[in-house]
Amino acid sequence: MTRREHILSEAAKIIRAQGYAGATMRDIAEAVGIEVSSLYNHIRSKQEILSTICFAIGREYIMGLEQILNGSSGEKDMLNQIIHLHIDLASRHKDSMQVFEEEWKHLQDDDLEQFRSMRTYYERRLMEFFDGAIRCGHFRNVETRVLLYTFLSSLKWLNFYFRENKSYELETLRKNMADLLCHGILNETK
């Protein structure tokens, strides 16, 4: 891990714990074990830290989704892969993911606009996928926006799950989430 990566990792932990407004460059420097003045040799500002974290996660989401949607799998397999994408990112980026989900609102100016554009793009691509699967009869015929936001809301809690649970079986979680999101909670045999 480079010094910059170490700084970003420690900053994500601090911002997750204290919130963007509560975290200071002094806190980050202390966590990394350097003087605040030395910190500025690697990072220009707390805003740069936030934008770096948010854009890195956003790019991973978009690249992962594009890879899935441009593949040759059927809709059910694609849906499972998208669920796995969310689970995998949340499990790998425990601290950064919560910063991405909760603290993006503190981005400023062009960074805020660019972040909103990334999020809108991701949602639009998911809606296109859902629309196509509904039209083909692979997914239930429900209003696409309701499907989109229900789907995304169902995955958002993962950030808190991985932060709070020190031990978890990733494959079991993937299987359970995919089953619930693909088949619902009703036991159709009863």
Q: Return the domain boundaries, the chain.
A: 1-44, 47-183
Distance CA 89, CA 65 (A): 12
pLDDT of residue 88: 92
Residue 74 has pLDDT above 80, yes or no: yes
Region class of 187: left (phi > 0), else alpha (psi between -120 and 50), else beta = beta
Q: What is the pLDDT of residues 141-164, one digit of tens each?
A: 999 999 999 999 989 888 878 877
The pLDDT-based confidence of 108 (bands split at 50, 70, 90) is: very high
Which CA distances in Å does 127 have to 58, 132, 166? 17, 8, 34
CA triple 186-75-116, angle to 5 deg: 95
Residue 92 has pLDDT above 60, yes or no: yes
Q: Cβ of 30: how many Cβ atoms within 10 Å?
A: 15
- Inter-residue contact 52 to 96 (CB < 8 Å): no
- Inter-residue contact 134 to 140 (CB < 8 Å): yes
CA triple 93-75-162, angle to 5 deg: 20
Fold of 47-183: Tetracycline Repressor; domain 2 (1.10.357)
End-to-end Cα separation, the chain, in angstroms: 53
Give the pair of three-digit tokens for residue 15: 């911002």
The pLDDT-based confidence of 103 (bands split at 50, 70, 90) is: very high
Q: Which residues, including other chains, have CB under 8 Å from residue 180's CB and lie 6 or more apart? A: 154
Global pTM exceeds 0.75: yes
Which CATH class, in words, describes the domain spanning 1-44? mainly alpha
pLDDT of residue 10: 95
Q: Which residues, including other chains, have CB under 8 Å from residue 83's CB and lie 6 or more apart? A: 155, 174, 177, 178, 181
- Inter-residue contact 98 to 156 (CB < 8 Å): no
